[in-house]
Amino acid sequence: MPTKSWLGTFITRNGYLLGGYIILAVLVWILLVIVLPQIAMLDFSFRFDLPPYKQGGPEDVYTLSNYRYFLLGYPGNPDGYNYVDLAVFGRTFIAAIFVTILDLILCYPIAFYLAQVAKGRLARVLGVALIVPYWINEILRAFAFRVIFGASGIINSILIGVGIIDSPIDFVRENVALYAGLTYAYVLLMVFPIYNAIESLDPNQIEAARDMGAPWWRIHWRVVIPFAKPGITSGCTIVFMLAAGALAAPQILGGPSSLWFTQIIYRTFFESVNWSRGAAYAVILLVICTLFVLLMMRIFRVKLGEIGR
């Protein structure tokens, strides 16, 4: 379709004022707010970290050194690889997958229950109970977990009081607090897409499967889960991306020996004040996580257009 005729119909349909507003706003949004900043970040990541007076000078050339640093460390690194950053990245990645799986296991039943079983007032009350915690600030939710899992927190007090342990367990050091906090933070984001998907499933399909003698787990495996696959993928994608990109929860709940990759980016920016390397690390985080999500969608045969509905 030629652009001009499309623009023509667009203007006849919306008028100059309204059509102009729509086009202008979308252009501003896509270019100035979404795309160009990403390109600027990509551009920064391929440059040396130069003081302002050298920028644009002869030394301001493109380089892969920031990415090389992520893989190999500083030049002449005797270890061969930058094990510290690579290990942190790997751990963040695996922990994010772990949190996603945990959330899926935790949330699938409640999504099914709310969508197919609960009726009337009970469903509404449960829905509100689900949403209210999500309205509380992310920081405050992390704080709550810090209070609970602290050395003199309620869990240690109970465990000691009952006599299971006699000295407090350092849940923060063991990262239990972090995983619990992250799982907690994204519960609603997992429940909601799955709920939306399952809600549109005709209850007669479940009924039919049951009439034909399928046990409950096979009903889920063969009927509900295949139907809800776009919702499940959508929920898993959101939770994975947000968990891998989380900053507040690891800062508050993370143990001292286990950094989150975002914390490394944060430090590169604010403590080493190396914007180029920070940009490169941000690009690495974004690109690898996105590729992983796309790969998973390929493996589970979900199309991009199906999710996010």
Partner 1 sequence: MKLLTRLAVVAYLLLFFGFLLGPLIIMSITAFNSSTFPRVVPWECLTFEWFTRLANDTRVIQGLEFTAVIGVFVVVLSLLLGLAGALLLTQIFPRARAAYYTIVTSPILMPGIVIGIATVLFWDRVAHFVGAGRDSVFYHGVFLTVLGQSSFIASYCMLVFISRLQRFDEGQIEAALDLGATHVQAFRKVLLPFLRPAIFSAAVVAFLASFENYNTSVFTLGHFSTFTVVIAQKVRFGLDPSISALSVIIITATLFLALLNEAYSTHAERHPGNPLRSVFRGGVSGFFAGNPAAFLALLMLAGIVATTVYATRYDPTRCKAEVLRRKLEIQERYARPTSPQRATPPAAAPGGQAPTPPRQDGFGGAFNPQNLQIAPAPSAAPAPAPTPPPPRQDGFGGVFNPQNLQIAPAPAPTPPAKP
* Interface positions, 220-239, toward partner 1 (CB under 8 A): 237-238
Nearer to partner 1, 1 or 212 (CB): 1
Tell me the closest approach of the beta carbon of residue 221 to partner 1, in angstroms.
17
How many whole angstroms separate alpha carbon 251 and alpha carbon 245? 12
Of residues 7-46, those binding partner 1 (CB under 8 A): 10, 13-19, 21-26, 28-30, 32-41, 43-44
What residues have CB less than 8 Å from 27, skipping those under 6 apart? none
For tokens 């690579």, the residue is 86
- Interacting residues with partner 1 between 96 and 155 (CB under 8 A): 106, 109-110, 113, 117, 124, 126, 128-133, 135-148, 150-154
Token pair for 257: 């020996």
User: 62 pairs with which residues across the strands?
Assistant: 47
Helix (H) or strand (E) holding 5, with range, is helix 3-27
Angle at the Cα of 73 from the Cα atoms of 173 and 37, rounded to 5 degrees: 85
Restricted to residues 182-221, the positions that interact with partner 1 (CB under 8 A) are 184, 187
CB 30 within 8 A of CB 268: no
Residue closer to partner 1, measured from CB, 228 or 239: 239
CA atoms of 24 and 34, how far apart (whole Å): 14
Closer CB to partner 1, 41 or 97, in the complex: 41
> How many residues in the shown chain lie near partner 1 by CB under 8 A?
123
Q: Using the 8-state DSSP alphabet, how is residue 151 labeled?
A: T
Q: Which stretch in 97-105, 203-211, 217-225, 280-288 sits in contact with partner 1 by CB under 8 A?
A: 280-288
Distance CA 43, CA 35 (A): 12
Q: Closest CB to partner 1 among 17 and 164? A: 17
From candidates 61, 202, 271, 299, binder to partner 1 by CB under 8 A: 271
Is the Cβ–Cβ distance between 141 and 133 less than 8 Å?
yes
Which CB, 180 or 228, lies closer to partner 1? 180
- Interface region with partner 1, contact rule CB under 8 A, candidates 97-105, 200-208, 221-229, 277-285: 277-285
Question: Which residues 62-91 are close enough to bind partner 1 by CB under 8 A?
Answer: 74-79, 84-85, 88
From 204-212, 217-225, 285-293, 294-302, span contacting partner 1 (CB under 8 A): 285-293
Tokens of 212: 């034909």
Kindly tell me which of 228 and 236 has the beta carbon lying closer to partner 1: 236
Beta carbons of 130 and 191 less than 8 angstroms apart: yes
Applying CB under 8 A, does 157 fall inside the site for partner 1? Answer: yes
CB-CB contact of 243 with 102 (8 Å): no
Residue 20 vs 226, nearer CB to partner 1 = 20
